[in-house]
A and B are shown apart, each in its own frame.
Chain A
Amino acid sequence: MTVHGYAQSEMSATEAESLRSKVQIAATNTQTISSDFTQYKHIDFLSNDIESKGTLTFEAPDKVKWEYSTPFSYSVIFKNKTLYINDEGNKNSMDLGSNKTFKQLNELITSSIRGDMFDAQRFTISYFTKDDRSVVHFLPKDEQFSEFIQVFHLTFNTKGEVEEVKMIEPSGDYTQIVFSNRILNQPLSDADFSH
């Protein structure tokens, strides 16, 4: 994986406000998203990141499906406030302990798409620019949650769309999810979120 060493600088209050409204407008105009993603799990003592790939499907206001296809088959669907898991054919299996993390991540993704993610009550938020992209850091204020994830970094492109999510654990290990081939507002059906 290539890590770009470009410096990032903190945004002014005006720039941050401008980003928030840009994300809000993009969100209002987004009903559905289909996107590929590549996930890099970085664990400090491993020689290589663990790489997995799949697709993300989103339908406003809050249906999300993460479907991993390589190197394993696994999907997790959030709909009707329920978490559905298909682990290589094992359906409805309990997802241990991570429900809260998944829910919060899901809320963060869906909120970012809807444009109301900038919740200062739940997160300490800081804004940066990095090349032509915007990077926003969300530090969870909930102590229990920050035991899992110390900080989320969301990277937005110039259109105000989420390009990358990085979840950094207190140990410094992190999960980075990079989106590609995004298709907006393509009609989706229930089958796209079937379990």
Chain B
Amino acid sequence: MTTPVPANSEQAGSIACVGMGMTLGSHLSPLARSHIEQADVVFAALSDAIVELWLEQMHPDVRSLQPYYGEGKSRMITYREWVEVMMVEVRAGRKVCAVFYGHPGIFAWSPHEVIKVARAEGFRAHMEPGISAEDCLYADLGIDPGRGGCQHYEASQLLIYDTPLNPGAYLVLWQVGLVGDRSMKRFVTGPEYRQVLVDVLSRDYPLDHEVIIYRCATLPIEQPRIRHATLRNLAATDVSAEETVVLPPASRLHANTSVRERLAALDKAWAAQG
């Protein structure tokens, strides 16, 4: 955990990274809205052009970060540019608010990075949580991650890195729409890439296992989009960048007999003391 720089060593500029939530009008917290309204300049990395217009009604100087994306340009370069343009304003002594869709700290590189950079340079930096797609997913799909556990991965990581999975827990895969893009220059990949994902997942899940393809509502006139398929059919199923793939558990929890025996002995000793 990064320790914030003490107040007496801070310089004039500051940055707050806040979450806009997912659904227009429904999720923005009063505190995040206050950060936006009190800022000198607001940067926006949102998932919906209409939500961006909504944000523009809250502040006269909202600067979209969308133009920094480019076809054939690594998103890593884009993310670093975001950090730099925000830091230019912080270093100029301005109060900066960076607004990201959902939660600014979830599957987002630059909010964490800009906070790290700002603090290292002696500026005040803060993250304000927001309602994420993950939060909406739990509500809309009726999933409690506390029942059996829940694991989250950026889908490409499962292909790029050797990643052990726990098929007894929920598996939530983000960015399946561009799975397998090692260049970070593409915004969509095709069925042949999803087939690689299917092949990797099939080591732990049967091919007829259910997969849920989920997209939460970004406008309040919409409902969440929930589709069902089998793992076998995932490659042939179009998945957009905004959609998330969920695999329910494929096995039951297994009792750990030796640890249970150890806990029983502790319980017995504890009862004898009482």
**A and B associate:** no
- Which A positions have Cβ atoms within 8 angstroms of B? none
- Which B positions have Cβ atoms within 8 angstroms of A? none
